[in-house]
Amino acid sequence: MEKTRVLLADDHALVRAGIRNALQELPGLEIVGEVGDGPSLHAALEQLQPDLVLIDVAMPDFEPVSAVRRIRALYGDLRILVVSAYDDDTYVRGLLSAGVDGYHLKDQSLSDLRFAVQRVLAGERWISSPLLDRLLSLEPRIEGSYALTLRQRELLRLLQQGLDNQSIALRLCLSVKTVENHLTRLYRQLGVQSRLEAVNTINQHPEILGVSGQNASAQPSTPPTPGRQRLLVLLVDDNSRYREQLRHMIAKAYPQALIYEAENVAEALHITERISPHLLLIDVVLGEEDGISCARRVRVLAPASRVVLVSAYPDREFHRLGMEAGAVALLDKKDLDYAALRQIIDDVNC
């Protein structure tokens, strides 16, 4: 009978020796190679064509999530078992979503490691019991929200704009070190390893930037009505405090809403192209940009979307140009309260 070919990938020779000795007790396995870094792993996979690889994701020159995705794409039948000392929940979820077949903690017994290998080779998923207990106890992600905080979504929007850590710190009135700490946790939450991967993830999954109306405000809100559809709302305003105010009011008026934010035309068009929001609230003046032209371009991308323009200084000319651009209304900011938002949302749902 042909043996199962196994590749060991760990940068510590003693660890590889311990794993090799543990697996020798399993019949039908053959250790065909050992490597200690990312480039060597990719070369060995191509050359040796193993059936199973045991990977320590903390190896040098190895970005775990992106590397696992690449390996999974190239070798669809390969079984991948992570053997790691890292037990961070978001880190584990990121690797599981990237395509690993199991995650085993190094501090578990060798008998558990052998059992993990057997289960993975049998086509099952393996997660060490201490991790499994914690993962099962976590609250499930809210659909479309990735369970990110408002601060994390703000960081993602700034990353999308290409701001470096110093610029982000100035924008948010934080220290650079605090920004670095926020980004580290954010990357783990998304299952990515770098700024570039985070931005790519946002571009591929714009729903990350949305926040559920049920979680947009700590204030009591109207209970969700069963059966009502998820409403996609995009707020376009260069004033973050005003966006926050609108977000809280929409959350109260319609808890089922999934709320996105943009502070300039480029962000608004990008999000519109990806999600086709049901409702957009666009400020007429976006810094030095024109909210009316934004409305016109949005209507081209998403003809079914309803656009409401808002302005602190509404006048007849703004109203005329806004209606020509495809907006359904132009409202004075001071008149845009809970009751007005509720009426707008009810009109969208008609």
**Which residue did the predictor score with more confidence, 234 or 245?**
234
191 pLDDT tier (thresholds 50, 70, 90) = confident
pLDDT at 217: 44
pLDDT at 221: 40
> How would you class 177 by CB atoms within 10 Å of its CB: exposed for 0-12, middle for 13-18, buried for 19 or more?
exposed
- pLDDT (tens digit per residue) in 125-159: 888 877 776 665 544 443 444 567 767 888 888 88
pLDDT at 146: 56
Would the pLDDT of 227 be above 50? no
pLDDT at 133: 62
Measured over the CA atoms of residue 224, residue 228, residue 234 and residue 235, the dihedral's sign is negative
Domains in the chain, CATH or no CATH each: 4-137 (3.40.50.2300), 142-205 (1.10.10.10), 210-349 (3.40.50.2300)
pLDDT at 266: 87
In angstroms, the CA 171 to CA 168 distance is 5
- pLDDT (tens digit per residue) in 290-308: 899 999 999 999 999 999 9
Which residues make Cβ contacts (< 8 Å) with residue 80, sequence separation at least 6?
Answer: 52, 53, 55, 68, 71, 72, 99, 100, 101, 102
Q: What is the CA radius of gyration of the chain?
A: 25
In angstroms, the CA 243 to CA 154 distance is 11
pTM, full prediction: 0.48
pLDDT at 2: 85
**Which residue did the predictor score with more confidence, 244 or 132?**
244
Mean pLDDT of the 309-314 span? 87
pLDDT at 310: 93
Amino acid letter, 37 = D
pLDDT at 90: 66
Task: Report the range of poorest mean pLDDT among 61-65, 68-72, 135-139, 242-246.
Answer: 135-139
pLDDT at 326: 93
Asked if residues 202 and 209 have their Cβ atoms less than 8 Å apart, the reply is yes
Task: Report the range of poorest mean pLDDT among 66-75, 124-133, 137-146, 185-194.
Answer: 137-146
335 pLDDT tier (thresholds 50, 70, 90) = confident
Q: What is the DSSP string of 123-136?
A: T--EE-HHHHHHHH
